[in-house]
Chains A and B, each alone.
Chain A
Amino acid sequence: MSLAPLLVAAPLVAALLCAAVARRAAAISALAATITLVVGAVVAFSSFGAPAEHALAGLMYVDALSGLIVLIVALVAAIAALYAVPYVRNAVGAHEIAPTEVRWFYVWIQLSIAAMFAVPLMNNLGLMWVAIETTTLTTALLVAFFRRGHSLEAAWKYLMLGAVGLGFALFGILLTYYAASHALGEAAAALDWAELRANAAALDPALMRVAFALVLIGFGTKAGLAPMHTWLPDAHGEAPTPVSVLLSGALLNCALYGVLRFHLLAAGTLGPSFSSDLLLGLGAISIAVAVPFVLVQHDLKRLLAYSSVEHMGIVALAVGIGGPLGLFAAAFHMFNHSLAKTTLFVAAGALGQRYGTLRLARMRGAFEVAPLPALGLVVGTIAITGAPPFAPFASEFGIAQAGFAGRPAALAAAVVLIAGSVLVFGGMLFHVLNVALRTAPRHLHVASFPFAAAFVCVPLVALLVMGIWLPPQLREAFSAVAAVLRVAP
């Protein structure tokens, strides 16, 4: 009896409870997130190294890849939900959220978390699409939660681009279904992952090429791959910070998960080169596109958002490079990025509430204003830009090593990766140092940030340790994911 259904059910119940018991909404949400963290960890770690497992009468499918995404979502969701408590309290204090609206914030947060858990657990690719589309809808409302002009604009673009992109993805899934129903016969199971993966070789190659291209663009839009990423900085920048955390740390990975499933499928049908090369190219483009926007940026959270574009590109590129090392590093990097980006957004959010703005030009002297978030921002930036001895360096090094050892296209992509991360390092550090140092402005807002040390230091120490030594459980986890992502040459 798998615990996986609980992951979707718990947030759904929590959402209902939040709606019903307005006064305890924050506590309910935090409790639910803690429960899903524990359950998610159990589900995830029992999936690594074990054979894939079905749950809920075959509706759910849990293998190591799902496990990794579940783990990431559980972790990020817990941090986001816990951080939401002080954040929302401060926002209410600053009259950004009406007290009567507070419960709806938690309702939508929990609904989004439920949808995000559903994505990696769905066996049926059509339902996976439904889950991803649902995340768009719930998070779009969250992005617009502040009802400011900018938030509405961001939400609108997010919704429109997300819907169009997912439309293409749906079209691709239709084609896959068509190909599958031909190969497997008319069956309700024709979109079930286990069936599809097993019979990938029998699918029509020409169809699968088109299908993969469409799905890549579709889910790639949602995953923030350039040039479909344009909604991402808007949404991540304008959303309330806990939502930014969810979007950047969890949701992007969910969308990328969709791409990866189809990559495996396409590779099963067409051999690895077609989908790998597309991933490689799109990844490299994403890295390259992120660079100028990081160099010249005016908003802290947009800065972090463009960094997410870069890192989604890096993961795509890593999967494109392939090989045991590249895939291990890809999984490792997904995990690292989520952890580091979550910390960065939390730090940015805490600082933003103190300054009352996220404009880089107006934020300075953060070390005086709020030492721990400032430390988190600086060290987190150093970590996420791939500087040793932090974990993202280890994963990026693994990716680059795999790229250098691989085919010419992979080598070129690895060079793009190295050059891109150096430029992003310089750009991000420039902005972040200007925020952290200098003399603080006199007028600051009142905002509390309890347990700052836990929010900031724990992830950073974890990143530091993982940069040098990987606990055997995680090593096994990433190896298992790499084994799932392995495509026959």
Chain B
Amino acid sequence: MIGAAAVVDGLALALLAVALFSVTIRGLVSGVWLLVVQSLLLALVAATIGVSSGAAHMWAAAILTLAVRAFAVPAVLFRVLTAVALKRETRPLLSSRDALIVGVGLALTAYLAAGRLELTGAFPARQALPVSLALIFIGLLLMATRRKAISQLIGLITIENGIFLAGLIATLGLPLFVEIGIFFDLLVAVGVTAVLTLRINEQFDTMNTDELRRLRG
């Protein structure tokens, strides 16, 4: 058990590192690749818990993670990127350095906040819950500081990942049918968002959300 927890802790820290890294980079393709890495790590977490606890549906979760988060979603995103021929996030609201500083600050906040929540009986990985909160915060940071629609989508998926991690740790996953529903939703969400992104690109000739500031008051 202890060994498994340590593994999960390691994986969680890796997730955090990946997320912080994604804050600093500007390339959109690499951003999506980092999502793939996050998803793989999550699948590993699920698998580890599955091995250690013997819960069969954790395996299902791992496989679903691989299929949806690591394969389907990035595939859609790559399609969009190809369609709009876009490479880099230009002029984010924060420079890479500042974004990293804020990201680390948010991660610390997450540790502080999560420390107050006593999750007795959860999977005993101490890092996992703070990391999941940190992922949520970092996702929000990404959404709030990036101008490209696709970057905001990356942020949104980071948030989802954080929630998913928390779900894995805290409750060994939701009931399977709920989880399938959530995965399905994620897939549709990404699909719908992709469609919207394409349409926005078509309409405004850009994916810059600066254009999307006309509805006020």
Contacts and interface: CB of A to CB of B under 8 A. Distances in A.
Determine direct contact between A and B, CB below 8 Å.
yes
B147 to A, nearest CB: 13
A151 to B, nearest CB: 9
Contact of A190 (B160, B175, B177): B175
A357 interface: no
Interface in A10-63: none
Given A157-B212, A159-B196, A124 B178 contact: yes
Contacts of B159: 164, 167
Nearest to B202: A147
Interface in A133-157: 133-134, 136-137, 140-141, 144, 147-150, 152-157
Contact of A141 (B175, B192, B214): B192
B98 interface: no
B143 A160 contact: yes
A191 interface: yes
A203 to B, nearest CB: 13
A206 B120 CA distance: 12
A160 B204 contact: no
A188 interface: yes
Interface in B179-217: 181-182, 184-185, 188-189, 192-193, 195-196, 199-200, 203-204, 209, 211-215, 217
A174 B163 contact: yes
A310 to B, nearest CB: 16
A213 to B, nearest CB: 12
Contact of B199 (A144, A170, A191, A206): A144
Nearest to A59: B177
Contact of A210 (B117, B121, B184): B117
Interface string B118-129: 111110000000
B160 A167 contact: yes
B152 interface: yes
B121 A182 contact: yes
Query: Which of B159, B177, B178, B203 is the most central at the interface, judged by chain A CB atoms within 10 Å of its CB?
Result: B178
Contacts of A133: 185, 189
Interface string A154-182: 11110110011001001100110110011
Given A178-B171, A191-B174, A164 B118 contact: no
A167 B136 contact: yes
A297 interface: yes
Contacts of A298: 217
B203 A175 contact: no
A148 B177 CA distance: 38
A206 B193 CA distance: 36
Contact of B192 (A140, A170, A181): A140
A238 interface: yes
B72 to A, nearest CB: 16
B171 A206 contact: no
Contacts of B199: 144, 147, 152
Interface in B140-189: 140, 143, 149, 152, 156, 159-160, 163, 166-167, 170-172, 174-178, 181-182, 184-185, 188-189
Contacts of B117: 206-207, 210
B181 to A, nearest CB: 4
A95 B217 CA distance: 28
Given A160-B156, A177-B171, A178-B122, A149 B217 contact: no
Which of A130, A150, A181 has the most chain B CB atoms inside 10 A of its CB? Answer: A130
Nearest to B133: A171
A296 interface: yes
A251 B148 CA distance: 29
A130 B174 CA distance: 13
B56 to A, nearest CB: 12
A171 B163 contact: yes
A174 B200 contact: no
A384 to B, nearest CB: 21
A150 B171 contact: no
A156 B204 CA distance: 13
Interface string A278-320: 0000000000000001001110001000000000000000000
Given A127-B178, A144-B196, A164 B203 contact: no
A144 B163 CA distance: 28
A164 B212 contact: no
A129 B176 CA distance: 14
Contact of B189 (A124, A127, A163, A171): A163
Given A126-B175, A126-B182, A207-B117, A156 B209 contact: yes
A234 interface: yes
B15 to A, nearest CB: 16
B196 A152 contact: yes
B188 A137 contact: yes
A164 B166 CA distance: 16
B212 A156 contact: yes
A115 to B, nearest CB: 11
A141 B192 CA distance: 7
A329 B23 CA distance: 49
A302 B214 CA distance: 14
A150 B214 contact: yes
Contact of A167 (B163, B203, B209, B214): B163
A237 interface: yes
A10 B89 CA distance: 45
Contacts of A147: 199, 203
The 6 A-B pairs with the shortest beta carbon distances in the complex, nearest first, are: A126-B178, A130-B181, A153-B212, A178-B170, A234-B215, A178-B171
Interface of A: 124, 126-127, 129-130, 133-134, 136-137, 140-141, 144, 147-150, 152-157, 159-160, 163-164, 167, 170-171, 174-175, 177-178, 181-182, 186, 188, 190-191, 206-207, 210, 233-234, 237-238, 293, 296-298, 302
Given A153-B200, A171-B136, A237-B215, 8 more contacts: A124-B178, A127-B178, A127-B181, A130-B185, A141-B192, A149-B214, A160-B156, A167-B163
16 contacts: A127-B177, A130-B182, A133-B189, A137-B192, A147-B199, A147-B203, A150-B214, A156-B200, A167-B136, A167-B159, A178-B119, A190-B175, A206-B118, A238-B215, A293-B217, A296-B217
